[in-house]
Structure formats: C-alpha cells, structure tokens
Chains A and B, each alone.
Chain A
Amino acid sequence: MARRYDSRTTIFSPEGRLYQVEYAMEAIGHAGTCLGIMASDGILLATEKRNTNKLLDEVSYSEKIYRLYDDMACSVAGITADANVLTNELRLIAQRYILQYQESIPCEQLVSTLCDVKQAYTQFGGKRPFGVSILYMGWDKHYGFQLYQSDPSGNYGGWKATCIGNNSANAISLLKQEYKDDNTINLQAALDLSIKVLAKTLDMTKLTPDKVEIATLTRENNKTVMRILKDPEVEVHIKKYEEEEAKLEAEKKKEADKKKA
C-alpha cells in the first residue's frame, strides 16, 4: 500500500522509506550516463550526450558539464531543469565563500552545503526533491584531487571512480574490476578506462566522439586547468580502445580455433 505514503515528501512510509526520494533516484536511472574517475595527476568526467538532434544549436560550453568556480566542475544526471537550479546554487555558494574568505571554497564544503539544501526538500516545505544526481570533480589545498557524488536524498560520498545515470550499476561493477586501487593510474590511462566502460555500458553499437563529452581537471603551475576534450582527442582514445578490443577478439578466436583442432 505504498500509494498512500507517496504524495508528500515529508513523511515516512510504514517500512521507514521516503518514497519520493526513491522515485527521484528512479528518474535519474533513466538519464544519460555520467562517470567520473580520479587519477594521480587529475580527474575526468565523461558523459553520454543524448541531445544529438541535428537541429539543436551548438551549446556555449557544454551540455552536461558545468564549471562551478576556478577549482571545481560538475556533471549531472537527471532532470535538466532541476540541474540548472542546483548548479546555479552551487555557483552562488562558491562565490559567497570567496566573498567572505577571499579564497576558493574547499571541495567537500561546497558539496556538503548543497546537500544540506537538497536534504531540506526531503524533510519540510512540501516540495518534491530535485531529480538530479551530481558528480563533482575538484582540487583544493587540503586534500588535492577529489571526486564526489551527491543524490536527491542529500547524501554525498567521496569516490575514486563512480557512475550515475543509465546502466550505472554495470559501469560501476566494471570499474570495480578494472580500477587499480593503488593510486598509480594516470589521467591518460583513466581516459582509456572511461572509454572502455562507456563503450560497454551505453546501448549503442559504436562509440563516436559526438556521443560522449569528456572533461578533465588537472593542476598546472599552481593553477587548476579544466578542459573539455575536443573530438579528435576523444577519437584517439576510442581508436585505442577499438584496437585493443580487436586484439582481444583475435586472441580469443585463436584460442577457440586451437581448442577445435
């Protein structure tokens, strides 16, 4: 009889669940995939581009990746309109901190402050929660490179690699196998890994640069540098992945032939 406990966000069900929050997470499960991987010398966010309609005009910076302030960027999965409200709030939080302290906000504080806002929508006000999960990549002087994920419940966590959106469970299990936990993976290897994971989890036959958007965050000369990879660069990684896959296929075939013989 979950129906009777659905309509208001601010009440628990008899089993102690908040259905509206869970439904919000359900909405995100259908949205475009977003994955993040932390390397020793940088972080990347890779997103699946869904708006590949030819009639769409070129977006200014990016479809799903937002610059929050000098040292942090985020990508979103879920209801785009909700995402715009939240990213605007994130930028406000960051600038308010800079106004007060004249230095950049540490990454976790930004995530935490926004999550307090998200949590409020699950407890009072009678409004629905935001249907957005966010992946944040950033750098600060306390903890260096950091990757965070937040969801509609207002919960957040720090990750080495994670994924949100469509097929995220598959992606995460693949990352678990492939991501070496010894902090030696460098950004180029992380980029290769992200292409591999995306290729295996997106429901498409072939991965092309116009279907993914990858952004990286690194430090150069004591400054944070955030870049969106151009199509040719993405193509390099895709080609590398395809060559490796072809090699593996060839080896498998050889083994199978050997066995037959």
Chain B
Amino acid sequence: MECLIGIQGKDFVLIATDTISARSVVAMKDDHDKMYPLSDNLLMAVCGEAGDSIQFSEYIAKNVQLYKMRNGYELSPRAAANFTRRNMAESLRSSRSHLVNLLIAGYDKDEGPSLFFLDYLASLNKMPFAIHGHGSLFALSIMDKYYEKDLDFAGASALLMKCITEIQKRFIVNLGKFRVRIVDKDGIHDKGTVAPEPVVAA
C-alpha cells in the first residue's frame, strides 16, 4: 500500500514517499517519514514489512557512517547501494531475511546524481526514475510518457504531480500527501509535502 517515487534530474535526484503508516486497514499516522539520510549526499527511502524497514535501514545508515569515521571519506552512492544490496542478498539467503524495498538516491562529485532501485529480492538497478508499491502500476506509464533527461526541479515536480494525481485517481487506497526531498551537490534538502490535485468527477 505504500508508495516510493524517485526521479533523477539534471544535477539532483528527487524522492517522494507517501506519509501513511498503516496496519492492516487502519491508517495510524499520516505524517510518517519513510526516508533515512545515509550520509550528507545519500538518501534512502524504505517501504515494506513494519519492523524490518527500520531495522534494515538503520543498520545500513550506521554502517555508512562507520565507513566515514574509519576512513575519513564517504562511500560513493554506487558503493553504498552495492553494499546495501549485498547485505540484503545475504540476509535473504539466511533465516533473517528483511522484507524491504528501497530507493537510494545520491550525488557523487565525479558521477553526478544517481538513483538506485533495490527490491526485497536484492535486485539492484540504477534507473532514471523508479517507483515501489502498488502506485507503480499506475505511475510508471505516466513516467514512461512524460519523463525527459536533464529535468530541472520544476520539471521533476511537475512530473511528480502527474504521477501522484494519477495514483490518487486510480488507486483504491487514498495515499494522501507525499513528502518530497532532493539530493544534490549541496546535500539533502527538504521540499515539504505535496498533495495530489483534487480529483474532478469524470
């Protein structure tokens, strides 16, 4: 029922997550933050099994910090994503598997912005845009039609609005507002929340 959306722009990556925390049919919270900063230039969005998502993401975040403390420099987004994937793959093949889906967004001074899609089966792909959750059924085709390379923030926001409006219209669960953050060379920036445009009866 959760939805994570990632869009890579010209020199930033935008991540938007829904803000509902639900158990079965009850929405417990509508201002839940599903994003975890891994470092100054790395942001991770998580969805999936309740306890696993926090457990796994905190484990990864603290290990990324430990690397920085030990070595004096940070893991690149690619290395951090692969590290995350390796941990996921190993836990999958043991009795302690984590049912979490992740989007990892980062900015590297040599490689620029990057967005990685990682699912609970430990498959990792670098993608220009990515969506986890039921919302992907509706919004991926919106992205396919309207995504362009080198979007600026306004363009990426507009694309995001199209996606969440479509999800609001067609997905049976009302996901409400989305929290938006971007990662660029200056770090992680909070862009507040966006609500989908009101649905006009057809």
Give residues in A with beta carbon < 8 Å to B. Answer: 99-103, 106, 108-109, 141-142
Residues of B within 8 A of A100 (CB): 82-83, 86
Whether, in the assembled complex, B28 has its beta carbon less than 8 Å from a beta carbon of chain A, the answer is: no
Q: Is the CB of B110 within 8 A of A102?
A: no
Q: Closest approach, in angstroms, between the C-beta of B67 and any C-beta of chain A?
A: 9
Residues of B within 8 A of A106 (CB): 71, 73
Q: Is the CB of B79 within 8 A of A102?
A: yes
Q: Is the CB of A101 within 8 A of B82?
A: yes
10 example contacts (A-B, Cβ-Cβ < 8 A) are as follows A100-B83, A101-B82, A101-B83, A102-B79, A103-B76, A103-B78, A103-B82, A109-B71, A141-B110, A142-B73
How many angstroms from the CA of A109 to the CA of B75 in the assembled complex? 13
Return the CB mask of B63-75 against A: 1 if under 8 Å, else 0.
0000000010101
How many angstroms from the CA of A106 to the CA of B75 in the assembled complex? 11
- Beyond A109-B71, A141-B110, whether A103 also contacts B86 by CB under 8 A is no
Residues of B within 8 A of A109 (CB): 71
Residues of B within 8 A of A102 (CB): 78-79, 82
How many angstroms from the CA of A135 to the CA of B75 in the assembled complex? 26
Residues of A within 8 A of B78 (CB): 102-103
How many angstroms from the CA of A108 to the CA of B72 in the assembled complex? 11
> Which of A102, A103, A106, A141: most chain B CB closer than 10 A?
A102
Q: Closest approach, in angstroms, between the C-beta of B73 and any C-beta of chain A?
A: 5
How many angstroms from the CA of A141 to the CA of B86 in the assembled complex? 23
Q: Closest approach, in angstroms, between the C-beta of A112 and any C-beta of chain B?
A: 9
Closest to B86 in A: A100
Majority-rule SS of B interface residues? helix
For chain B, residues 96 to 111, give those with C-beta under 8 angstroms from any C-beta of chain A: 110
Residues of B within 8 A of A101 (CB): 75, 79, 82-83
Closest to A100 in B: B86
Q: Which of B71, B86, B110 contacts A99 (CB 8 A)?
A: B86
Residues of A within 8 A of B76 (CB): 103
Closest to A98 in B: B82
Residues of B within 8 A of A141 (CB): 110
Residues of A within 8 A of B79 (CB): 101-103
Return the CB mask of B97-128 against A: 1 if under 8 Å, else 0.
00000000000001000000000000000000
Closest to B110 in A: A141
Q: Closest approach, in angstroms, between the C-beta of A243 and any C-beta of chain B?
A: 44
How many angstroms from the CA of A101 to the CA of B76 in the assembled complex? 9
How many angstroms from the CA of A137 to the CA of B76 in the assembled complex? 23
Residues of A within 8 A of B73 (CB): 106, 142
How many angstroms from the CA of A223 to the CA of B100 in the assembled complex? 37
How many angstroms from the CA of A141 to the CA of B76 in the assembled complex? 11
Closest to B109 in A: A141
Closest to A142 in B: B73
Q: Closest approach, in angstroms, between the C-beta of A163 and any C-beta of chain B?
A: 28
How many angstroms from the CA of A77 to the CA of B76 in the assembled complex? 35
Residues of A within 8 A of B75 (CB): 101
Closest to A108 in B: B71
Closest 4 CB pairs of A and B: A102-B82, A101-B79, A103-B79, A100-B86
Closest to B70 in A: A109
How many angstroms from the CA of A141 to the CA of B83 in the assembled complex? 18
Q: Closest approach, in angstroms, between the C-beta of A44 and any C-beta of chain B?
A: 26
Beyond the given A103-B79, A108-B71, A109-B71, could you list 18 further A-B residue pairs with CB under 8 A, ordered by the A residue number?
A99-B86, A100-B82, A100-B83, A100-B86, A101-B75, A101-B79, A101-B82, A101-B83, A102-B78, A102-B79, A102-B82, A103-B76, A103-B78, A103-B82, A106-B71, A106-B73, A141-B110, A142-B73
How many angstroms from the CA of A101 to the CA of B71 in the assembled complex? 15
Closest to B124 in A: A102
Q: Closest approach, in angstroms, between the C-beta of A138 and any C-beta of chain B?
A: 15
How many angstroms from the CA of A100 to the CA of B73 in the assembled complex? 17
For chain B, residues 34 to 93, give those with C-beta under 8 angstroms from any C-beta of chain A: 71, 73, 75-76, 78-79, 82-83, 86
Q: Closest approach, in angstroms, between the C-beta of A132 and any C-beta of chain B?
A: 25
How many angstroms from the CA of A102 to the CA of B82 in the assembled complex? 6
Q: Closest approach, in angstroms, between the C-beta of B117 and any C-beta of chain A?
A: 16
